[in-house]
Chain A
Amino acid sequence: MLKFITIIIFTMLLSACSNMANLTLYQQLDGKAGLERLVDSFINQIGNDEQIIHYFEHANISHFRAGFINHLCVLTDGPCEYTRDSMVEIHTGMHITEADFNHVVDLLINAMNEQNIAHSVQNKILAKMAPLRSQIIKI
């Protein structure tokens, strides 16, 4: 009996996994609403962080919010087109250090945890964003 139940649970898990695999990251994040919640958490994290907040001193937060939601939508294969300034244009002159970049990654992870985003989904998002680093730091 126990064996039977184990097999059923295992099969359910497997099918759950394969269903997840068919969904885009965007869908796994609950689409636009999920991205909005995530970016709001992230902005809240930044707002409360002494190390990072100074980079946003002259930033228009609603512009940043819309831009980041749009960018995440594109990165997670959502139904969006990238309509914002290039990463290089946005970050030129900010002189973001390696350490501060990684600290922002920490804040994004905090925000993803706050939104109860699954560990594997978090990693896939980070994997999509990691290649952008060279267009962001030390410029």
Chain B
Amino acid sequence: MNRLKLLLVCVTTFAVFDSFASQGKLLATPGVSQIEGSGGGGIVPWAQLAGYASEDEFAVNGFCSRADVTDYSLDVCGAQINLFNRVELSYAQQNFAVPALDTEIEQAVTGVKVRLYGDIVYSDWPQLTLGAQHKSLDDGTVATLVGAEDTSGTDIYLAASKLHLGAIAGYNWFWNITTRYSEANQLGLLGYGGTNGSEKLLFEGSTAIFLSREIAVGVEYRQKSNNLGLGEQDWQDLFVAWMPNKYVSVTAAYLDLGSIAGAPDQTGWYLSVTGYW
């Protein structure tokens, strides 16, 4: 129900802003939408701000994503607002399904991101961005049960990214590195902190090659901490992103999320669609 309301709000907003659709960036350079709602890859927030707004424009984007692994699934829908390619505000609603326990864990993520320096295509040094994601579980019962200390938390991250034109045999090469300060267990879906640890500095990275203007293939890596002592492991994915125009992008990925809440070898598929206005 919540998601339906969000979608309605999005559609109405888009209809209103449609005539202002901003197109000031080069195709594909904003990236796509990350599972916590920020502009990024799939699992890593990138230094680029979501949407095609240049410094004189603003942009509104909406997205929905689904990840299906061995024992769980995650549905996310959300939206971002890009203000003059300086500030990105984002909101995402996550719904994590645990069929074995016949339960769902819901979490809201509010994000803000500020571009500190540069442009991923044109500046001499990589684009640099500082961001935060405040996450709050709707119901902390499961988190408390598995030993988490808190049911909400805030991640802070610093991201750097660059697109190198024609760098690999004439193909465009992209990379992003993010460092995140976080105490979240499995994105926060299993709460924050635990008997095994609390806030840590974690490393995340993505790299991709553009096979054409519209299609990029790449990999991502996200370090995780094991605060609950349940064997939480680093995440990885292999993705293909298709950005046929400045209005829509579709991303598919193969996920390897390691062990989640004691269930090992969580691999599976990811699909995400973002609309840009």
Contacts and interface: CB of A to CB of B under 8 A. Distances in A.
Name the prevailing secondary structure of the A interface residues.
Answer: helix
Interface stretch (B98-106, B162-170, B190-198, B258-266): B162-170
A123 B174 CA distance: 13
Contacts of A16: none
A109 B212 CA distance: 12
A127 B166 CA distance: 7
A109 B26 CA distance: 11
Nearest to B85: A98
B54 interface: yes
Interface size class of A (residues with CB under 8 A): 20 to 34
A124 interface: yes
Contacts of B57: 99
Counting chain B residues whose Cβ lies within 8 A of the other chain, the interface size class is 20 to 34
B26 A119 contact: no
Interface stretch (B17-25, B42-50, B249-257): B17-25
A54 interface: no
B170 A120 contact: yes
Interface stretch (A37-45, A85-93, A100-108): A100-108
- Could you tell me the dominant secondary structure of chain B's interface residues? loop
B55 interface: yes
Interface string B85-129: 100000000000000000000000000000000000110000000
Interface string B196-208: 0000000000000
B22 A99 contact: yes
A3 B65 CA distance: 42
B27 interface: yes
B170 A121 contact: yes
A99 B24 contact: yes
Interface in A23-70: none
A98 B54 CA distance: 6
Nearest to A126: B165
B30 to A, nearest CB: 12
Contacts of A99: 22-25, 54, 56-57
Contacts of A106: 26-27
Contacts of A121: 170
A127 B165 contact: yes
A120 B172 CA distance: 8
A130 interface: yes
A119 B170 contact: yes
A84 interface: no
Nearest to A132: B122
A98 B26 CA distance: 10
Given A98-B24, A98-B55, A127-B166, 16 more contacts: A17-B169, A97-B56, A99-B24, A99-B25, A99-B54, A99-B56, A103-B23, A119-B170, A119-B171, A119-B213, A120-B166, A120-B169, A120-B170, A124-B166, A124-B170, A133-B122
